[in-house]
Amino acid sequence: MRVSLKRFKSACQSNRRAVATVEFAIVAPIFMSIALGVMEMGRALDVSTNLTSAVREAGRFAAMHRNGIVPPGTTTNQKVIQDIRNVLKANGVNGDAATITITHAEGPNQGQTFDLDSSANYMQYFNINISIAYQEVSGFPLKFMHGQSLRSSIIFRLGLK
């Protein structure tokens, strides 16, 4: 009787290990998908935060008194766009892949290019938009967000020159 009890315990333990293996085989892919999705969304949030920060700083610069800050032979629009690209590169984002526009934010010229150096635009609202395709910033081989773009924009009023 004693021998059969040991065999019974051994058979139960063996069955339990098999059940645990099957459970792991079912749960592991689901868990990995969730973990990769969380990491992918974390990267999207990180890049989105970097875009917002770069656009905010560029808008602040564009709206302020900037005599002597813009290098000769460069327009303020060019400097603002290059500054945004540099901030993105410093944060590990391919700034050259970003699409950056500076446009009128209101009125009859809404959506048209805004010249930050034009005195005709004094006290007018301008919009800085930036977008980048997610596949340009994703570090994962899986493309959960393939075909999506990350965007940020800000509206400022052109003040002193």
Q: What is the pLDDT of residues 77-101, one digit of tens each?
A: 999 999 999 999 999 898 999 999 9
Helix, strand or coil for residue 45?
helix
Stated length of the chain: 161
The full set of domain ranges for the chain reads: 40-157
Question: According to the model, what pLDDT value does residue 39 have?
Answer: 84
Provide the mean pLDDT of the chain. Answer: 84
Task: Write the single-letter amino acid at 97.
Answer: A
Residue 121, Cβ density class (10 Å: 0-12 exposed, 13-18 middle, ≥19 buried): middle
Percent residues over pLDDT 70 in the chain: 86
Q: What share of the chain is helix, strand, coil (3-state, %, to 5)?
A: 55, 15, 30
Which of 4-18, 34-48, 70-84, 99-113 is predicted least confidently? 4-18
Q: Are 91 and 50 in contact (CB under 8 A)?
A: yes
